[in-house]
Amino acid sequence: MNRKTIVWVVFALYALASTCAGSQEIGLKRDLTYKTGDGFVEIIKNGAMVARYVYKGTPKPYIYPIFAPNGPSVTRGYPMENIPDEPTDQPHHRSFWVGFGDVNGIDFWTESEKSGKIVQTQLDFESPSPGHWNIHATNDWIGPDGKVVCYEDRRYSFVSCDYGLLISTRIELISPGKEVRLGDTKEGFLAFRLAQGMQLKDGKGGITNSEGLKNTECLGKRARWVDYTGEISGKTVGIAIFDVPSNYGYPTYWHVSDYGLLAANPFGGRSITGDEKKDSSLTIHRDKPTRFVYIALIHPGTLDREKLDMIADAVAGRGPALTKN
């Protein structure tokens, strides 16, 4: 498969092919399909489930479980299921999800009575190119008073490659007729809660980013990607998230913790760093939707910085160089 084909397969989904000049071969494969159920969609490879998207009976859609190519489930089970000796803090950390703590002052991150909910209103499947498909969902972000705060158009694609499973997420937030303000807060935006063995704390995990920083140094820093790798049941697995140059705030700030939270958050400049000059709030105006695209790689084994840079070039493209954090 040549570079042009790679760009088309991954970014025909999101009309971002122009960002991918210089990408290299990563061996995309057409070996995934899906099966629908009551409130969920399962992603299937060789007859076995590799991931499940859940949208019913939950305060917000999420993806759980997610299996690495070498077998282990890479995200925490709680609150979807109780696993012995697994931590049960922060029940709003639902495996792999989208949420935010300040949308017109309403919290769509936690799950209290005062929190908002992200409610799916429509689901269909689209094929941007032969042999590929993606989940297309429309969601209402509803405040505790029952009123719609914003609309969302979300698309997921799942693609195998030589380095693991790629999950691309496109989030388009749409004003319901009045301005929508995303305030500066550390609580967001696209996030994973990793399985215990992958954690830096009480696990065998390690964190690295595109700027060469390691472990806790990565918290609150801007980077084009962050990788969190650890060990589950004796097997090394990792999750990397790649930011896309067209996104607001690129390269994004990262809320990445020693207890296994990995979150890309372009709105967390002031709150994560503590620097009042780095306010990164955003206002979405009427008739001007705002789009975000993030690509996650679930990979077996370890990947060095050079390899992750190459994969980032292939699937996300390269934007302006980061001059300061």
pLDDT digits (tens, 9 = 90+) for 224-281: 999 999 999 999 999 999 999 999 999 999 999 999 999 999 999 999 999 999 999 9
Could you read off the pLDDT of 184-229 as tens digits, one per residue? 999 999 999 999 999 999 889 999 999 999 999 999 999 999 999 9
Please, which pLDDT band fits residue 10 given cuts at 50, 70 and 90?
A: very low
The alpha-helical segments, DSSP class H, found in 186-236 are: none
Token code pair at residue 178: 């009045």
**Contact of 283 with 172, CB cutoff 8 Å:** no
Could you read off the pLDDT of 100-114 as tens digits, one per residue? 999 999 999 999 999
Which domains are delineated in the chain? 3-315 (2.70.98)
Sheet holding 117-126, edge to edge: 117-126, 134-142, 148-161, 164-174, 290-300, 235-243, 225-232, 206-209
Question: Would you state the pLDDT for residue 11?
Answer: 44
> What is 72-140 written as a DSSP string?
-B-B--TTTS--TT-----TT--SEEEEES-BTTB-SSS-STTS-EEEEEEEEEE-SSTT--EEEEEEE
Please give the share of the chain, as a percent, with pLDDT higher than 70: 90
For residue 130, pLDDT beyond 90: no
Q: Which helix (H) or strand (E) holds 41?
A: strand 40-45
Please, which pLDDT band fits residue 172 given cuts at 50, 70 and 90?
A: very high
* Spatial distance between the Cα atoms of 283 and 273, rounded to a whole number of angstroms: 21
**Contact of 305 with 210, CB cutoff 8 Å:** yes
> Does the pTM exceed 0.85?
yes
